[in-house]
Amino acid sequence: MPHYSSIRLSLLTLLLAACAADPIEPIPTPEPILSGEQMIRESQGIASLGDRWKKGKQLVERGNILVREGQNKIEEGNRLIDEGQKIQRESEDSYKSIKH
Quick one: pLDDT at residue 35?
Answer: 82
Rounded CA gap, 69 and 5, in Å?
95
Dump pLDDT digits (tens) for 41-99. 888 888 889 999 999 999 999 999 999 999 999 999 999 999 999 999 999 999 989 88
Task: Report CA dihedral (63, 69, 72, 77) to the nearest 10 degrees.
Answer: -110
- Residue 24 in this model has a pLDDT that exceeds 80: no
Residue with more model confidence, 26 or 40: 40
| Residues near 34 by beta carbon (within 8 Å), at least 6 away in sequence | 42
- Residue 2 in this model has a pLDDT that exceeds 90: no
